[in-house]
Structure 1
Amino acid sequence: MRATGGEAGRETRRPGPTRESRYAYWMSHASGQANDALLAKILSSRESGGSALPPNLGLEPSEWQAMLSTHFPSAVPLTTPVPLGADELADEARVVERDDLVALLLAGRAGRCASEGWLAIIVAAACMGGDHLWQDLGLWSREDLSRLMNGNFPALAQRNDRDMKWKRFLYRQLCQAEGVYVCRSPSCEVCVDYARCFGAED
């Protein structure tokens, strides 16, 4: 029976995949490694439109395939890998910024598994977003991000002994490495921007 009146030409759209359904899918194909659940959350959020990550999570196609083969060997992602030859960042300064973040993360890696290298790239790519880092990554809470940082980059994470917001902490580490100290407050407790660095990340 053909549609008539107001129904004519109206398309029925199926809802996209939910974060939870895609997470369940990824975990059903997980290989049983330490970072499986974190990567499954990142992947499921990206597939359901809930992160700021670029295609392939910022990984080159070969890195993307290696990550999937290592953690989810029988899974089929909703998207195919795309070449990253033409960098998605138009601003060259941001490319350098991202590369500096990758180097910072790798310098503090645990050295236990290959996924630390992939996560360094993914985290750096997410730092280009405008929200809290855990949100830009597509993680489900700040606790997820703390677990990611402590498990994969412990030498770096232990420096965040005052629980500074992770994105601000990473950029502060870069500034200190370059000898740049922008903040003029004598102590964090008296700074008017205290909440921007240490407040809740909801």
Structure 2
Amino acid sequence: MLNAVRRDESLESVYAGLMASRRGEPVEENLARMLASWSVGLGVMPDWLGLGEMAFRRMMARHFPRADPDRVARLDRPLGFNRHDEREELNQLLLAGRTGASESEVWMAGIVTVGCLGNDHLWQDLGLWCRPDLSQLMLDNFAPLALRNDKNMKWKRFLYKQLCESEGIYVCRSPSCEVCVDFAKCFVQA
């Protein structure tokens, strides 16, 4: 219990520090949540959020110019996902559905892509604090794609369904859903 309390206090402290150092762009609130969660070991995000060190540092400098990137960086989770083709397809799907032409959307596409390779709900794998955070992140960064999710489908399932449909496959499951505790809510029809 004490470790959980310390983790929660640290999470809030990191989040507050990031929010105090942000530039004021809409993406920064959810990015601060992901970074705070990542810094205390929540979610599945790998080193540098899967972006690589240089891109991570550029992202931090752009969105949190007064924050120390080394304070939030967690470097004990190497990028262990070996599904290269899948990662590339997901990343291309997200980039094709970008809201505008911001470099932040490129970073977010990379982060969301890596998060999709986790085994839980996408918002949890990313270290967001609730599903509506992910919906807002998707609308802010990938509006043309996000607006196609008009049935409020779980985001990971929706993204993989988009990939399958682009290949002409209309019955498709995301790769890690079978181990999810909410499998029946997403896939079993009543």
TM-score (norm 2): 0.82
CA RMSD of aligned residues (A): 2.5
For the pair 1:40 / 2:32, whether they are aligned, the reply is: yes
Q: Percent identity?
A: 46
For the residues of structure 1 that align with 2:34 and 2:55, how far apart are their CA atoms? 16
State the 1:99 CA deviation: 1.2
2:148 maps to which residue? 159
For the residues of structure 1 that align with 2:139 and 2:187, how far apart are their CA atoms? 19
Q: 1:169 aligns with which of 143, 153, 158?
A: 158
Structure with the higher fraction of residues in helix conformation: 2
For the residues of structure 1 that align with 2:184 and 2:144, how far apart are their CA atoms? 25
1:138 maps to which residue? 127
For the residues of structure 1 that align with 2:27 and 2:98, how far apart are their CA atoms? 14
TM-score (norm 1): 0.77
Question: What letter corresponds to residue 52 of structure 2 in structure 1?
Answer: E
Listed as ranges, the gaps of 5+ residues in structure 2 are: 1-5, 173-182
For the pair 1:120 / 2:70, whether they are aligned, the reply is: no
State the 1:72 CA deviation: 0.5
**Relative to 1, partners in 2 of residues 1:127 and 1:150: Cα closer, same or farther, differing over 3 Å?**
same
State the 1:97 CA deviation: 0.6
Q: 1:53 aligns with which of 41, 45, 50?
A: 45
For the pair 1:88 / 2:77, whether they are aligned, the reply is: no
Q: Is 2:98–2:142's contact at 8 Å kept on the other side of the alignment?
A: yes
**Relative to 1, partners in 2 of residues 1:158 and 1:30: Cα closer, same or farther, differing over 3 Å?**
same
Q: Is 1:168–1:197's contact at 8 Å kept on the other side of the alignment?
A: no
Listed as ranges, the gaps of 5+ residues in structure 1 are: 1-14, 184-192
Q: Is 2:47–2:79's contact at 8 Å kept on the other side of the alignment?
A: no
State the 1:136 CA deviation: 0.5
SS at match of 2:34: helix
1:25 maps to which residue? 17
Higher Rg: 1
1:190 maps to which residue? none
**Relative to 1, partners in 2 of residues 1:45 and 1:22: Cα closer, same or farther, differing over 3 Å?**
same
Question: What letter corresponds to residue 74 of structure 1 in structure 2?
Answer: R
State the 1:159 CA deviation: 0.8
**Relative to 1, partners in 2 of residues 1:198 and 1:74: Cα closer, same or farther, differing over 3 Å?**
farther
